[in-house]
Structure 1
Amino acid sequence: MSDRFRLDADLTIDRLGFGAMRLLQGGPGTRDPGSARAVLRRAVELGVDHIDTAGFYGDRNGSVRANTVIREALSPYPDALVVATKVGPVFGPGGPRQGTAAELRPQVEADLASLGLDRLDLVYLRVGTTEPPHGESLAERFEALAALREEGLIRHLGISNVDAGHLAEARAIAPVAAVQNNFHIANRDETAVLAACARAGIAFVPFFPLGGGADLGDPRLVKVAARHGATPRQIALAWLLALSPVALAIPGTGSVAHLEENLTARSITLTEEDIVDLA
């Protein structure tokens, strides 16, 4: 199985990337931006060429944004680096709400400015809050993003927190390069969406590849980890990459040590016995 995924004829990425959501957050506290920049630089040194971010990622009080730290750490960006971002949610005094189609352009332009880019490699339309909003149309919003792609502000389009119906609806409007849903070894509810992506050759990129706080102490996971001299976190990532050639992983952290631990999962090859044990 290839360790790379082809987004288009001229663009491939490592299937193990980096997610920036927790870059500036650790437990109940906030991480130092200097440490965050060190993590990003180390990630690129270790071959990470896919960073997933969003304009609303940052520290807990909103004073430092992940996009700003990414630009400070990595600009001018390596030619092979793909930066993906998400738009859709609007945050205000009353909490987050789903943005309208008209509110997407300002979000895309803000991401371009904060990242210091002329074009965004991959932009996801994030819909809903915690669960996919079944039965809700995304057509008007996705059409707005597709128009920005036609203008040259976006290279590839994705959708996030969606069901198979949303994927079909979006694909009828414009090409979908990637889907980002909640999926990990302890939560396999989105298997049908993964299967739809596999049939279409679309990247499936779980936004919680390490569980998002879920317990990874399952005895089966611990057993396979011991067999490989690895950690359960590493096996959870290796399992995801073994599941399908369209599955990518974007584990995030604000720790260099955890970053290096996560990226070691690249070297773990699960056996058929391992896969059966983890089924």
Structure 2
Amino acid sequence: MTTSSTPSTPSTPSSDPTTAAGVPRAGGPGRLAGRTVSRVGYGAMQLERLHGDRASALAILRRAVELGMDHVDTAQFYGNGFVNGLLREALRPEDGVLVVSKVGATANPGGRFPLRLAQRPEELRAEVEANLDALGLEQLPVVNLRRAETGPGLRAEGEQIVDIDDQLAVLTALRDEGKIGGLGISNVGPEELRRALPVGLVCVQNSYSLVSRGDEDMLRTCLAEGIAWVPYFPLGSAFPGMPKVTDEPAVLAAAQALGATPSQVGLAWLLHHAPHTLLIPGTADAAHLEANVAAGTLALDDATLATLDAVPSRSAELTFE
């Protein structure tokens, strides 16, 4: 991986359809932190599942690059550093991959949940340093602040309830020190987004999908501000009580008509719905990885889009107690 202390500047325009390696960008070109990246990127969290098969995990990452993914999402708390170690080994400077990490939690091996919140300013700084060390970088190209006052997931309690301004202060200081390139935020509501806009956000990561569109106003704010919208749970969620895109009759019908899978239809809808959307679906399976890339080429005509747009949003929050 590159160890430059300053962000690399792309020499090609935002419409460049190919990666640094000359491969067509998965899903076409998008913009993130002043860089051109593939609109279909790779979420590395599921590589934790290959903890006992490092060779297969590395092969997945190399295959992602070969398929034109040059936007990878990670965190030090994924596999307690295992995933970042894979990225350091697998990715090469010539791949031109933009690595996005996040802070606000830390690994919790042996605990009830695999992570615990780490929201205090000193913890955020420590997590930035841990990501830098594990990835072998002098600067993290993009860092997302994972908030914990909205769901789904762990909620902040006690000393972990920290004002967003205090968190942004330490992260902007780290940016001034050259340890962070661009700042993003995750798990936020409209008020938190408004308060964070002055720092110059490059992306927002929130739970969002065809069946969970409660953040539509924030999506539109990001579009107006030139901020990338990066939904997690892009197909809804497998957790009980949360709706799934792949259960929707309209999605199933569209998939059958297009000769695609319901998952591909759900991902394609996101790309068609808003031009600043970047996807980071995760998988530990090579065939699934290729299917995700293929979703970026799936054309949805106006009639299909209208039918999908009519699917009701049934946002449901999941809180871990």
Q: Report the TM-score when normalising by structure 2.
A: 0.78
Partner SS for 1:179: strand
**1:38 maps to amino acid:** A
Instruction: Look up the match of 2:105.
Output: 89
Partner SS for 1:223: helix
Percent sequence identity is 42
| C-alpha contact (below 8 Å) 2:76/2:130 kept by paired residues | yes
Separation in 1, partners of 2:269, 2:197: 28
Q: What does residue range 18-37 of structure 1 map to in structure 2 within 5 Å?
A: 18-25=42-49, 32-37=53-58
Confirm or deny that 1:148 pairs with 2:174: yes
Instruction: Look up the match of 1:225.
Output: 255
Aligned mate of 1:110, from 130, 144, 148: 130
1:45-92: CA deviations, max 9, x gaps? Answer: 01100000011112xxx5x61111111222x33352100000011445
Please, which moves more after superposition, 123-132 or 183-192?
123-132
Separation in 2, partners of 1:8, 1:24: 27
Aligned mate of 2:305, from 272, 275, 278: 275
Q: What does residue range 41-120 of structure 1 map to in structure 2 within 5 Å?
A: 41-58=62-79, 62=80, 65-74=82-91, 76-78=92-94, 80-92=96-108, 96-120=116-140
Separation in 2, partners of 1:275, 1:131: 28
| C-alpha contact (below 8 Å) 2:76/2:106 kept by paired residues | no
Distance 1:31 1:163, change over 3 A: farther
Confirm or deny that 1:170 pairs with 2:196: yes
CA RMSD of aligned residues (A): 2.2
Distance 1:136 1:145, change over 3 A: closer
Unaligned runs of 5+ in 1: none
| C-alpha contact (below 8 Å) 1:210/1:251 kept by paired residues | no
**2:206 maps to amino acid:** N
Unaligned runs of 5+ in 2: 1-14, 16-27, 310-321
How many residue pairs get aligned? The number is 268
Cα offset, 1:94, TM superposition: 7.6
Q: Report the TM-score when normalising by structure 1.
A: 0.89
Cα offset, 1:163, TM superposition: 1.0
Aligned mate of 1:191, from 199, 216, 235: 216
Q: What does residue range 4-23 of structure 1 map to in structure 2 within 5 Å?
A: 4-9=29-34, 11-23=35-47
Cα offset, 1:129, TM superposition: 6.5
Instruction: Look up the match of 2:278.
Output: 248
Distance 1:255 1:79, change over 3 A: closer
Separation in 2, partners of 1:8, 1:233: 28
Separation in 1, partners of 2:127, 2:112: 19
| C-alpha contact (below 8 Å) 2:65/2:95 kept by paired residues | no
Distance 1:38 1:94, change over 3 A: closer
